[in-house]
Amino acid sequence: MYAWGHSRSFNAYSNYFKKLFGERVQKLSIDAGFTCPNRDGTKGRGGCTYCNNDAFNPSYCNPSKSVDQQIREGMEFHAWRYKKPGKYLAYFQPYSNTYAPLSQLKQIYEQALKFPEIAGLVIGTRPDCINDEKLEYFRKLSKTHYVVIEYGIESCYDKTLQRINRGHSFQESKEAIIKTADASIKTGAHIIFGLPGESRKEMMAEAAILSELPLSNIKFHQLQIIKGTKMEKEYQQYPDNFNFFSLEEYISFICNFIERLNPQFIIERFAGEVPPRFRVDPGWGNVRNEKIVEMVEEELERRNSFQGKSF
């Protein structure tokens, strides 16, 4: 039994929710039709070079449908897939889901929270799309619902953020996360491993950098080149700029990384999963996320190791 209250070798998201809610909790993705400041011309055009949201939106998730309709279809989808899905979290995932006036955000989020099956909100956004007024709203909301603000950090290095056209600095990410945590709101973060221009040593050093932040949850993705993105064009023109992890290399890397990671962080995922029809890079075949988790746990057991062992 580890400090996080179960015998798994990392602070697992699924176990956390079973303990918190007493049953399975499933994320239900919603596309509310937001955009981003580096798409609409406020900071830039074209968005992040790796981004194509169609690659991870489930079939029912479409901004042409109302939030109400997406939730109803999403619950039907998950009820078929999991039989007994339990509670749901409304996951506002594509683009920047706080990039609108607060009055508009309230209308969107409250459409989701009127469903008794919805236990809370997971709100994906950017650090430059949050302010004190919105944080105060989420602070009040978090007293009655489970609320997580999930920030796309992607990298701790400004050279990389500039290269992938993020339109914000790591310092902005850090400040937004601290302000969110100070408002007693759960904070999540998303990191991509393998972005062009970063060495494996630089990526590993991010464990110490991230561990100093007041994060609640964290998720990791390996770089995947998605069709229809600027990065696809860069990859086709300059393939030597990219150094992809093999599956075995990634398992070793991610185990080394989480050994150095703050054990208080709840790990949501170790790797990203994109339908093969969207993929351009070599990839790992048909290996699903469940298999990645299994391989990580087997490697940690082989090492007699666990999250935070070297923290």
Phi, psi for residue 140 in degrees, rounded to 5 = -65, -40
- Give the model's pLDDT for residue 299: 98
**Within a 10 A sphere around the Cβ of 218, how many other Cβ atoms?**
25
Prediction pTM value: 0.94
- Give the model's pLDDT for residue 221: 96
CATH T-level fold of 13-303: pyruvate-formate lyase- activating enzyme (3.80.30)
- Give the model's pLDDT for residue 56: 72
pLDDT tens per residue across all 311 residues of the chain: 899 999 999 999 999 998 999 888 899 999 999 999 999 999 888 899 999 877 777 778 888 999 999 999 999 888 877 666 678 999 999 999 999 999 999 999 999 999 999 999 999 999 999 999 999 999 999 999 999 999 999 999 999 999 999 999 999 999 999 999 999 999 999 999 999 999 999 999 999 999 999 999 999 999 999 999 999 999 999 999 999 999 999 999 999 999 999 999 999 999 998 888 899 988 898 899 999 999 999 999 999 999 999 99
Q: What are the structural domain ranges in the chain?
A: 13-303
CA distance 2 to 222: 27
